[in-house]
Structure 1
């Protein structure tokens, strides 16, 4: 019975996604298309090896740094701004944040005007249709010292997914904060594509010596996916952020959105119940571990 329910969910979700994305093509790669994203910092689509090489390059020390004693993040799948009230909720919840990580962010939403005091935006485009472009975006109060993006493809639908990788200077430490903003592949029978996406992230994080935040919509709607995610994160020394008021979006009783960290202590973690998306936003306050 459980298998039948799951298969039905996947089937109708896939049909709906195909209908909604019938005009979508592949990842945006042309320079002319990327120039349309004025005000957003974009990085070329690269392999995990290329991203690792880029992150390993020496670079000038940034004068602007995130306060290592007060790192507050907001993570939210904002559902392309399809529900009413998203702008007010985003303005309210982004106040006082160091980083805002959004999935299903649409260019047409003019997001920079709705995010409080986080002027730098690293955008990783994924889907494109004749009217809009969506992907994942990481807003920050300081400019990232480096930014690269990884791509994946939905096995059933052939549509792209993006992972945003950014790195920031921190106060009172020589180490930098690496932030991974991910929207994981969703519709697949097996775990091959899911493992591949997680392995790319693991390759990057295994080389990074500083603190880490991995956050996003991980689409852990079945036990096998959840176990794969937890195993991958634990093998890298990352801990799950737990919420006392756990109002995260669930499917089959399992939360889809997660935040993991390494080298940081959790000061506060809250999930907000909203009607402005089908996912509830999460805020977490961190401090550099002593």
Structure 2
């Protein structure tokens, strides 16, 4: 199961690194969204192994209110991007190699008021996958905005661990009274996984973002990357074709209901 007592690393424009412990809460005055449209970029960045991947982030640094990365590594290039654009990045590392951490990372323009991180070990290779829930104020509203960034387990026999991971995350999400975005690499490469994912998602009232031209990364003929939402209106959804990762980024525009 996800371990509840996890930590998160936070990077900011002053190049400081902060360790965020469980149940960390802040008094945050700056809202992340208001009643205007906003964009979200969701991308498995493939550990930044390919050249020019930061260029994609640069292209959308000023237009994407939220950037949800999977397989993000705290390389000097990515930290420089965060600092240059005065972003806040919350990172849930799953392993470390040569002082470089890898895991899901949520990049925004403002601090969350609360966060919760999760890790789940791959049953076969024992390398964890991570997930992160962050919650942000909404301008002129008592409600808050929940964002969940997930990289689901991949190598497993059957769907027991997969169900366990997704179910644990959704149990936290379903309690939220406000708009929600859930995005990431769900590794839904089998029909059994895909059916389970949709059943769990629909059970808490989330809707799926569909793409007119669907160039998402697939395995065994099924897409791996998804965005789900609730309490928002979907305006546009597109996929950015690139060779800078083994996944194509998803770019979605929403507005509040």
Q: TM-score under structure 1 normalisation?
A: 0.79
**Residue 170 of structure 1, CA deviation:** 1.1
Question: Higher strand proportion, which one?
Answer: 2
Question: Higher helix proportion, which one?
Answer: 1
Change (3 A) 1:163 1:74: same
Within 5 Å, give how 1:205-284 maps onto structure 2: 205-284=173-252
Question: Any idea what SS the aligned residue of 1:67 has?
Answer: coil
Unaligned runs of 5+ in 2: none
Residue deviations 1:190-248 (CA, integer Å, cap 9, x gap): 11110111111111012100110000000011111111111111001000001112110
1:43 and 2:20 are equivalent in the alignment: yes
Structure with larger Rg: 1
1:127 is matched with which residue?
Answer: 95
Checking the alignment, whether the CA contact within 8 Å between 1:152 and 1:185 is kept in structure 2 is yes
Question: Any idea what SS the aligned residue of 2:75 has?
Answer: helix
Instruction: Give the whole-Å Cα distance in 2 for the aligned partners of 1:79 and 1:267.
Output: 28
Checking the alignment, whether the CA contact within 8 Å between 2:28 and 2:111 is kept in structure 1 is no
1:67 is matched with which residue?
Answer: 34
Within 5 Å, give how 1:19-38 maps onto structure 2: 38=15
Change (3 A) 1:251 1:136: same
Change (3 A) 1:39 1:282: farther
Q: Could you say what the CA RMSD is over the residues aligned between the two structures, in angstroms? A: 2.6
Checking the alignment, whether the CA contact within 8 Å between 1:273 and 1:281 is kept in structure 2 is yes
Within 5 Å, give how 1:153-164 maps onto structure 2: 153-164=121-132
Within 5 Å, give how 1:48-197 maps onto structure 2: 54=23, 60=27, 62-114=29-81, 117=85, 119-197=87-165
Change (3 A) 1:113 1:34: closer
Which stretch of the first structure deviates more once superposed, 170-179 or 180-189?
A: 170-179
Change (3 A) 1:108 1:60: closer
**Residue 174 of structure 1, CA deviation:** 1.4
1:201 is matched with which residue?
Answer: 169
**Residue 187 of structure 1, CA deviation:** 0.1
Instruction: Give the whole-Å Cα distance in 1 for the aligned partners of 2:11 and 2:86.
Output: 21
Checking the alignment, whether the CA contact within 8 Å between 1:127 and 1:159 is kept in structure 2 is yes
**Residue 255 of structure 1, CA deviation:** 0.4
Question: Any idea what SS the aligned residue of 2:183 has?
Answer: strand
Checking the alignment, whether the CA contact within 8 Å between 1:97 and 1:118 is kept in structure 2 is no
